[in-house]
Amino acid sequence: MHCLKALRLTNSLHLILKNTDAVKKLFIDQPACLTTVTTVSQPRPTSHSGHFHLKMRSEHSKSSSFGVEDILFYTITEGKEQVPISYFTSALEKTGLRLSDPRLRDCMERLQQAVKESVGEVMMDRDLFHRCVGGNIVLLIQAFRKKFIIPEFDVFAQKINDIYHRVHQQSTGKVADYIPQLAKCSPELWGVSLCTVDGQRHSIGDTKQPFCLQSCVKPLQYAIAVHEAGTEKVHRYVGMEPSGLKFNMLSLDDEDKPHNPMVNAGAIVVSSLIKPHSNKAEKFDYVMEFVKKIGGQKYVGFSNATFQSEKETGNRNFAIGYYMKEKKCFPPGADMIDALDFFFQLCSIEVTCESGSVMAATLANGGICPITEERVLSEEAVQNTLSLMYSCGMYDFSGEMAFHVGLPAKSGVAGAILLVIPNVMGVMCWSPPLDKFGNSVRGIHFCQELVSIFNFHNYDNLRHFVKKQDPRRQDGEDRNKSVFHLMFAAYGGDVTALRRFSLSSMDMDMKDYDYRTALHVAASEGHIDVVTFLTETCKVDPFVKDRWGNLPVDDAMQCGHGEVVKVLKDYQQIFQQQEAQHSKAQRSPKLNAIEGMV
């Protein structure tokens, strides 16, 4: 098997040749598999080619100024010696990186300085590029080599936009009014932001409008408590089981503990565990700074109006507090009123969709903020938080959410949904109209649409499943792997593997680089059982010609497999008859894979 990849050279071929080794190491992507079954021996280099190689190495040693920055520059500019700065920034944003990314701060400041110092339009040449990107070279190489978690980010972002617009048509639901300040929100507001674990970001809609976290703060405060005090201490006072009840019910478990940290009773107790020996001002400042670090220092504010509104209308929460005080649910020395006050403050913390998506991405990234690369939360805290979000995060809709969406999420009555796709991205949706469970109507629909298109559901990647789109793979990567496995199974006579591929809805007519199909390979090797399966069960096309103009039957004849030749000639007649009967159709439909198995 030989895996090859063609590299299209730019106009600066003469420069790039001086650093051939660096180009191979840095800018040739994972090879696309171009399958040939026979092994081709590699000729030894002649003395002339060896002399040329030495000459290139000599030239490279003389041209030490040409390094990875230059290779990256010519990759971005497509061989041009200079381009407008807007061209560079546009190419950068296409990869998903924002110009406001903290990791690019130095680069952007130098670009702005260059603009200030010049008259007219500023052109980026190699010299300016060197001065600007020196400290970000590794990040930019990853971006332009498409080595981020979402390689084709611009394509993915467009699909997110399509989902957003479809969901925007939803007009059902009612804005929460039991907290007067929340009732003032417009039902037309709708925004979605996402941030990947590599810091790629995309936003659409009302994503800069601040709103209160409300219950979306519960996983964050729980994560902070576990990070600070540890799992054992926190769960000494709060359980970890779904309650099956409304989030504000006066209910405890069999051990007289709140059921979990995602209901009001559990969140009130957890608030008493954060900085227990500090005064209220110190506790609030501590959590605010912590939340800002989780959000990559993006917008985090506080709505005093909502806080006051919560206190004035929080009779149910006061009832829960007194009930738990009577049951001795709070840790020794904790003041119930202070805990309630702190809980109301935390619910009144403001974020935007953009800052909220970074918070979700920090959880998706194992506690390391993607855009600051700082470890904010411990692994233990993140693991526990995601587990509870998955089982308890969506009020009494949590079971359905786990069933249909299959991802950790937390909703709030302000209309937000914090969605975590582990190891991939975090998403923040916000739309005030709520369903009967207290979840954002548009937010729920967005999550469902997202997993219906992409393989983000927790169990989407089980073997033999019909595959959804995987944005984590580059275009063609899945097909290359499929071609490789299909050809290898045909070459080895592995009918069992071919049955599995057919059951998984793989296209059994796929061609390799030489336009050879699995039928070509099986015919060449004389595997009559494979040929029979491909023709009788999969109904593949026997008239596909490879790059040399050969049909599968020609390969069988050249290799002396008479029995295979007979099977293929008989099948060709049957196939032609079927084609004649369905001449108005594109071609006769293939037998369903499951029927084939039967």
Residue 446 CB coordination number (10 Å)? 25
Residue 589's pLDDT is what?
45
Q: What is the DSSP letter of 256?
A: S
By C-alpha distance, which of 254, 214, 222 is closest to 356? 214
Write the DSSP assignment of 415-431 as a string of letters: SEEEEEETTTEEEEEE-
By C-alpha distance, which of 498, 391, 395, 405 is closest to 452? 405
User: Is residue 231 classed exposed, middle or buried when 0-12, 13-18 and 19+ CB atoms within 10 A define those classes?
Assistant: middle
Residue 540 CB coordination number (10 Å)? 21
How far apart (Å, rounded) are the C-alpha atoms in residues 357 and 353?
Answer: 6
How far apart (Å, rounded) are the C-alpha atoms in residues 241 and 239?
Answer: 6
Q: How far is CA 339 from the centre of its chain?
A: 37
Residue 79's pLDDT is what?
81
State whether the Cα torsion 37-42-43-46 is positive or negative. positive
User: Is residue 56 classed exposed, middle or buried when 0-12, 13-18 and 19+ CB atoms within 10 A define those classes?
Assistant: middle
Residue 281's pLDDT is what?
92
How far apart (Å, rounded) are the C-alpha atoms in residues 419 and 410?
Answer: 7
Q: What is the DSSP letter of 549?
A: S
Residue 384's pLDDT is what?
96
Residue 31 CB coordination number (10 Å)? 11
Alpha helices in 134-279 (DSSP H): 137-144, 153-168, 217-229, 231-234, 264-271
Residue 51's pLDDT is what?
37
Q: What is the DSSP letter of 94?
A: H
3-state secondary structure of 278: coil
Sheet order of strands, 409-411 included = 201-205, 191-196, 425-430, 416-421, 409-411
Task: Tell me the Cα Rg of the chain.
Answer: 30
How far apart (Å, rounded) are the C-alpha atoms in residues 591 and 537?
Answer: 7
The residue with tokens 């800002």 is 292
* Under-70 pLDDT residues of the chain: 1-66, 463-464, 466, 474-478, 503-504, 583-598
Residue 466's pLDDT is what?
66
Residue 583's pLDDT is what?
63
As given in the structure block, the two tokens for residue 254 are 């069999």
How far apart (Å, rounded) are the C-alpha atoms in residues 461 and 470?
Answer: 10
**Side chain identity, residue 265:** A
Q: What is the DSSP letter of 536?
A: I
Q: Which residues contact 508 (CB under 8 A, 6 or more apart)?
A: 486, 498, 501, 502, 518, 534, 538, 540, 590
3-state SS string for 372-385? CCCECCCHHHHHHH
State whether the Cα torsion 590-592-595-596 is positive or negative. positive
Residue 44's pLDDT is what?
34
Contacts 24+ apart (CB under 8 A), 447-451: 447/401, 447/405, 447/407, 447/409, 447/417, 447/419, 448/404, 448/405, 449/163, 449/166, 449/167, 450/160, 450/163, 450/405, 451/404, 451/405, 451/406, 451/407
Pairing of strands 201-205, 191-196: antiparallel
